[in-house]
């Protein structure tokens, strides 16, 4: 994690970066008249927007960025610019910068956020002891509106994202269901969050038939993790319940996935990693909100006595589910968790899961697909939070006609609908277990993992959704 601090004036031994927006007058005490005239002329005549003055012992960098139609688009431009600058800093072996801007606090912090997010690298299994991924490691912010609290907030959120990325990037050989549960225990100890892990015997006593069915083909036992952050005087009398899919590896079960589709299946627990990291961040930021996290975890294998198409599963709430596809396992383990959530009388349940390929096919890797049940106002606020941080949400219809697609001839419901509206019918399956409680389902299948680096989104796990949830809880949920 890059070190960030606040200074009142630039350190002479550091390189300096001055950010101007396109409407600024390009002057600053670090720039003499000749440089100011040169920058102004080059920008006006040639639209040049990146200037580097090499002073041998340090660099003076000036960047001019465009102002977009909306603030959130401008902020996203600055995040991407931060990622590009990190590449330049590393190339030139710049280790420290003074960051100066006449722009708004939000714009400057967006730039810093881009640098921090782009700096992540999962290198646990690199054996070269001399490697140095990023020589650059220190930003000193010089801005009258930026406070130490703002920097701490940014740091905590970025650290939470790094924890999520580490979990999702870890292979199942070193992170099975037991390992994921232990990771949540460790996060809870660090952030003062209560964590309880139910083992297989306790899951059996609760008759969570969904989790147990999916786990039947595995030699590793399942877990069910409960995280709770409850400050002394929370603003909400009913908890916000966050549920995340913890499928540590998904072969598809007996409905085995083709090889190409199995390569990234270690990431199928990204929903649980995301929501656990959100609770970690909220606790460290000491937000006055009561939150409960529920994370069922197992792998889905075709071995042993694996559950099969045609099986009937008796779920935690008594629902009988006909299995028509063993690769639609995520919704089955989540059904038990969502039904379990009812006992907490939640104000709102939000579920996150890499649930369907249909979501990715629908909108690609540009955002999250969502449906809601009795939670229209909450989803509207969540969508606005998504715009704020540029982790956007596309809302899908949730008409009652879709219920027909998961009706079973021999059980209460089936675990997969027709070959249409796959994301929506998966949401309908989940909503069956939430009853009348406000419920939002976030399908993060298209955004949880990157096959290549893009801007500040690094290769591998993205940590997508954490900034969205923290923003929603902080700015919107508290107001309800």
CA 273 to chain centre: 8
Q: Which of 331, 392, 414, 428 is catalytic?
A: 331
Phi–psi pair at 338, nearest 5 degrees: -70, -40
HEC per residue, 423-448? HHHHHHHHHHCCCCCCEEEEECCCCC
Contact between 177 and 299 (Cβ < 8 Å) = yes
Cα four-point dihedral sign 469, 474, 479, 480: positive
Extract the runs of DSSP E, i.e. beta strands, from 186-239.
194-198, 223-229
Phi–psi pair at 99, nearest 5 degrees: -105, 120
Q: Which of 11, 257, 342, 387 is catalytic?
A: 257
As a 3-state breakdown, the chain gives helix, strand, coil percent values, each rounded to 5, of 40, 20, 40
The separation between the first and the last C-alpha atoms of the chain, rounded to the nearest angstrom, is: 34
Contact between 321 and 313 (Cβ < 8 Å) = yes
Contact between 209 and 316 (Cβ < 8 Å) = yes
Shortest CA distance to 395 belongs to which of 336, 428, 434, 441?
A: 441
Interacting residues of 213 by C-beta distance below 8 A, sequence separation 6+: 307, 311, 313, 323, 332
Look up residue 401 and give its DSSP letter.
G
Shortest CA distance to 193 belongs to which of 243, 166, 231, 244?
A: 231
User: What does the alpha-carbon distance between residue 86 and residue 116 come to, in Å, rounded to a whole number?
Assistant: 9
Q: Enter the tokens of residue 79.
A: 């995040």
Residue 257 a catalytic site member:
yes
Altogether, the residues listed in the chain come to a count of 480
Contact between 212 and 204 (Cβ < 8 Å) = yes
Alpha helices in 54-176 (DSSP H): 71-91, 105-118, 148-169
Residue 163 a catalytic site member:
no
The residues assigned a catalytic role are: 257, 331
């Amino acid at each position: 994690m890059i070190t960030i601090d606040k200074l009142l004036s630039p350190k002479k031994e550091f390189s300096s970066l001055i950010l101007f927006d396109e409407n600024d007058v390009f002057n600053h005490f670090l720039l003499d008249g000749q440089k100011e005239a040169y920058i102004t002329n080059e920008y006006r005549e040639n639209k040049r927007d990146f200037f580097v003055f090499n002073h041998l012992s340090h660099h003076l960098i000036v960047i001019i960025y465009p102002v977009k139609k909306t603030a959130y688009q401008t902020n996203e431009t600055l995040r991407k610019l931060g990622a590009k600058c990190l590449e330049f800093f590393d190339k030139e072996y710049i280790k420290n910068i003074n960051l100066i801007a006449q722009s708004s606090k939000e714009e400057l912090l967006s730039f810093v956020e881009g640098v921090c997010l782009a700096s992540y690298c999962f290198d646990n299994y690199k054996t070269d002891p001399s490697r140095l991924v990023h020589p650059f490691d220190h930003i000193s912010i010089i801005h009258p509106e930026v406070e130490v609290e703002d920097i701490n907030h940014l740091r905590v959120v970025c650290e939470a994202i790094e924890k999520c990325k580490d979990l999702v990037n870890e292979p199942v050989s070193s992170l099975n269901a037991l390992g994921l549960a232990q990771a949540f225990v460790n996060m809870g100890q660090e952030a003062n969050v209560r964590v309880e892990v139910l083992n297989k015997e306790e899951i059996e006593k609760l008759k969570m038939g969904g989790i147990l069915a999916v786990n039947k083909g595995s030699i590793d036992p399942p877990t069910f993790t409960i995280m709770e952050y409850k400050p002394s005087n929370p603003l909400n009398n009913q908890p916000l319940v966050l549920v995340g899919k913890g499928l540590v590896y998904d072969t598809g079960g007996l409905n085995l996935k083709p090889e190409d589709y199995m390569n990234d299946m270690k990431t199928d627990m990204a929903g649980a990693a995301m929501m656990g990291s959100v609770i970690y961040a909220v606790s460290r930021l000491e937000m006055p909100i009561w939150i409960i996290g529920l994370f069922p975890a197992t792998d889905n294998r075709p071995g042993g006595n694996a559950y099969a198409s045609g099986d009937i599963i008796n779920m935690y709430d008594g629902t009988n589910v006909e299995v028509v596809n063993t690769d639609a396992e995520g919704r089955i383990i989540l059904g038990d968790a969502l039904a379990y959530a009812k006992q907490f009388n939640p104000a709102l349940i939000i579920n996150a899961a890499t649930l369907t390929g249909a979501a990715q096919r629908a909108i690609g890797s540009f955002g999250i697909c969502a449906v809601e049940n009795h939670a229209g106002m909450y989803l509207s606020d969540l969508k606005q939070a998504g715009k704020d941080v540029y982790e956007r949400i596309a809302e899908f219809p949730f008409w009652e006609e879709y219920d027909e697609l998961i009706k079973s001839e021999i059980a209460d419901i089936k675990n997969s609908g027709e070959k249409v509206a796959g994301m929506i019918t998966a949401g309908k399956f989940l909503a069956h277990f939430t009853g009348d409680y406000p419920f939002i389902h976030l399908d993060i299948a298209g955004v949880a993992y990157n096959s290549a680096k893009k801007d500040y989104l690094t290769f591998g796990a993205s940590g997508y959704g954490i900034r969205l949830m923290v923003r929603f809880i902080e700015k919107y949920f508290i107001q309800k």
